[in-house]
Amino acid sequence: MRVGLVCPYSFDVPGGVQLHVRDLAEALIRLGHEVSVLAPADDDEALPPYAVSAGRAVPVPYNGSVARLAFGPLSAARVRRWLGTGDFDVLHVHEPFTPSLSMLAVLSARGPVVATFHTAMTRSRAMAAAQGVLQLVSEKITGRIAVSELARKVQVEHLGGSAWQIPNGVDVARYATAVPLPGWPGEDGSIGFLGRFTEPRKGFRVLLDAYRRLAERRPATRLLVAGPGDQDEVRGGVPALVADRITFLGKVSETDKARMLRSVDIYVAPNTHGESFGMILTEAMAAGTPVVASDMDAFRRVTENGRAGALFPTGDAHALAATLARLLDAPDERTVLAARGREVAAGYDWAVLAERVLEVYATAIEATAGVVLDELPGGTW
Amino acid sequence: MWWVVTVVAVVVLNATYLTWLAARVDRLHARASAAASALDAHLVRRAVAAAALGEAIQVPTLALAARIALDARPEDRGAAENDLTRQLRTVVADPEAPVFAELVAVSRRVALTRQVHDDVVRDALAVRRRVPVRALGLARRHPRPGYFDVDDPSLEGAPRVPVAE
């Protein structure tokens, strides 16, 4: 079928929603569907072949961070032209309740519209003021998808709609076939961590403490850290001998992230609290790397209660060190964990999730008479 | 002179608004009715698949529940479908049973279609409550849509979802 995807944020800037749209588009294309993605972009040439630029995006402060959005009469005209020439069977927009291309597309569309909600945004004063507009946007959406339980709850409790839950996917093949970084994982064991290591809730302190204990008895085991942050601060806090065996990669690209996950014997998610990075575990699992994670709800769910990954009491560096020491000496157990991890990751593969998304498309088309377009008649599917 | 212009402007604006509102009422009701047909079709698909399965694996209660769901009058349909969901869950939950992938997929479609249907019905009912719609009887041509009130028909546990950052 012909699918029109709208991404509200600029493709030039990396971000969760952009990656989601790109991965979904590519998965749908692999399944034999025709896909066109409309997104703001400064540079047309940087876009993948299936994407169409809606023009320059303007940085707008939103929800505590800066979003790059395209919104205005010029963008509206481009959206209409894209809809007019696209002849889509279904229009799939992302984050339609932010003033963006997605909202413009929903307002210009007639016919099957599916929307995906990513963030767990709470009802703001601006949203309450724009209630009338939001109702019009909401009315035109037939199928609603939420990527997390939190995003679904917001739909149900604040916006009065329900939503079908389909999680963020993982491009399993990309992780499974990534080439490890030169010299890794090595013979003497290596441990990996990815994330903003200076942010307390990421729990890097716990891992560092555990690693220090571990390093006393295993002088050759290395630690590979990827993510933005001040490395000197970390190096200064541990003995020089330990600091020398920590490798910092800094902020990594998507490709290097996959390579990094393939480069270690064990991936550790030591998060202490908060809405945590559950995705990274599925990515490590897709890379075939056994994972060790703190015993929190999100990680419990992904590791299927510790079946597909080892859990340790949250914040307990001692227990983490013991778990790591045990696993580093037990290659067979690591193989078992990695195999179960791959099974779990397979359930999050985009190829599988794209089929679920197609079911929502089909349902939205059935429940709507007509085409995704302002005036042009003659929808097919 | 000016009052003529003002009156004409007000009349034109009102007419435009009411035309737009009437189109909106029609669209929401058309969608509710399309969603209801789709839901009916998927429920029938599910009952037929369940009847075939009930006979194939020799579970007469399942086959019977499926027949009752197929023959139910509109007012008994919810109860009959709930009973079929219960029977299906018992069969699927049996650890000895083979994997009924197709039946799980059909049930997922029923659940998804019901959710979409109820969302559309909610929007249609909301627009029916608006003052101009009631006063001018804009929804008079359309039968009042109703929610399809049944238990969650999906056969799989809640999908596992990692919490995004």
- Number of Cα atoms under 13 Å in the Cβ half of residue B1: 0
Task: Find out whether the peptide bond into A73 is cis, omega within 30 degrees of 0.
Answer: no
What confidence tens digit (pLDDT) does each residue in A147-197 have? 877 777 777 766 667 888 888 888 898 898 988 888 888 777 899 999 888
Q: Is the pLDDT of residue B53 over 80?
A: yes
Looking at CA atoms only, how far is residue B97 from chain A in angstroms? 21
- Running DSSP on this structure, what letter comes out for residue B149? -
Give the integer Cα–Cα distance in Å for A76 and B104: 42
* CA nearest neighbour of A72 among A56, A51, A94, A83: A56
- Assess A275–B contact: CB distance below 8 Å, yes or no: yes
User: What part of B 119-138 touches A (C-beta under 8 Å)?
Assistant: 119-120, 122-123, 126-127
- Number of Cα atoms under 13 Å in the Cβ half of residue A177: 4
Give the integer Cα–Cα distance in Å for B46 and B60: 16
Measure CB to CB from residue B162 to each of A16, A135, A167 and give the nearest one: A167
Neighbours of A213 (CB within 10 A): 17
- Running DSSP on this structure, what letter comes out for residue A202? G
pLDDT tens digits in sequence order for chain A, 381 residues long: 899 999 988 877 777 788 889 999 999 999 999 999 998 887 777 788 888 888 776 666 655 555 556 667 778 888 899 998 888 999 999 988 877 888 889 988 878 999 998 875 555 555 666 677 778 888 888 899 988 777 777 777 666 678 888 888 888 988 989 888 888 887 778 999 998 888 888 888 888 888 888 888 888 888 888 888 888 887 777 777 778 888 888 888 888 899 999 999 999 998 887 654 478 889 999 999 999 999 888 888 888 888 889 899 988 888 888 888 888 888 898 899 999 999 889 888 998 899 999 999 998 998 886 444 333 333 333
Give the integer Cα–Cα distance in Å for A371 and B38: 17
User: What part of A 10-39 touches B (C-beta under 8 Å)?
Assistant: 16
Q: Residue A142's closest chain B neighbor by CA?
A: B116
Six-digit token string for A162: 């329900």
Beta bridge partners of A143: A114
pLDDT of residue B9: 93
- Name the CA radius of gyration of chain A, rounded: 23
- Assess B28–A contact: CB distance below 8 Å, yes or no: yes
Give the integer Cα–Cα distance in Å for B99 and B103: 9
Answer yes or no: do A16 and B164 touch at CB < 8 A: yes
Q: Which helix (H) or strand (E) holds A231?
A: helix A231-236
pLDDT of residue B135: 86
Question: Which of A137, A166, A368 is the best substitution to test chain B (most B C-beta atoms within 10 A)?
Answer: A368
For residues B27-46, give the mean pLDDT.
89
Looking at CA atoms only, how far is residue A48 from chain B in angstroms? 25
Give the integer Cα–Cα distance in Å for B99 and B156: 11
Give the integer Cα–Cα distance in Å for B134 and B140: 9
Neighbours of A141 (CB within 10 A): 23
Six-digit token string for B79: 């109860």
DSSP A67-127: EEE--SHHHHHHHHHHHHHH--SEEEEESTTSTTHHHHHHHH--S-EEEEE-S-PPPPHHH
Looking at CA atoms only, how far is residue B36 from chain A in angstroms? 8
For residues B21-45, give the mean pLDDT.
90
What confidence tens digit (pLDDT) does each residue in B66-102 have? 889 888 888 888 888 988 998 888 877 766 666 677 8
CB contacts, 8 Å: B34 with chain A: 366-369
Contacts of A109 (CB under 8 A, 6+ apart): A83, A91, A140, A372, A373, A374
Looking at CA atoms only, how far is residue A23 from chain B in angstroms? 16
Measure CB to CB from residue B117 to each of A118, A147, A367 and give the nearest one: A367
pLDDT of residue A373: 38
Answer yes or no: do B165 and A281 touch at CB < 8 A: no
ipTM for the predicted complex: 0.85
Question: Which of B20, B25, B125, B163 is the best substitution to test chain A (most A C-beta atoms within 10 A)?
Answer: B163
- Assess A167–B contact: CB distance below 8 Å, yes or no: yes
Six-digit token string for A84: 């007019």
What confidence tens digit (pLDDT) does each residue in A234-265 have? 777 777 777 888 888 888 888 889 999 999 99
Give the integer Cα–Cα distance in Å for B130 and A339: 57
What confidence tens digit (pLDDT) does each residue in A96-125 have? 887 788 888 998 887 899 999 887 555 555
Answer yes or no: do B162 and A282 touch at CB < 8 A: yes
Residue A343, helix vs strand vs coil: helix
CB contacts, 8 Å: B158 with chain A: 165
What confidence tens digit (pLDDT) does each residue in B126-159 have? 899 988 888 888 888 888 998 888 888 887 753 3
- Assess B35–A contact: CB distance below 8 Å, yes or no: yes
Beta bridge partners of A291: A267
- Strand ranges (E), chain A: 2-6, 34-39, 51-53, 58-62, 65-69, 90-94, 113-117, 143-146, 164-165, 190-194, 222-226, 246-250, 266-269, 291-294, 310-312
CB contacts, 8 Å: A369 with chain B: 30-31, 34
Answer yes or no: do B113 and A301 touch at CB < 8 A: no
CB contacts, 8 Å: A277 with chain B: 165
pLDDT of residue A58: 67
pLDDT of residue A48: 85
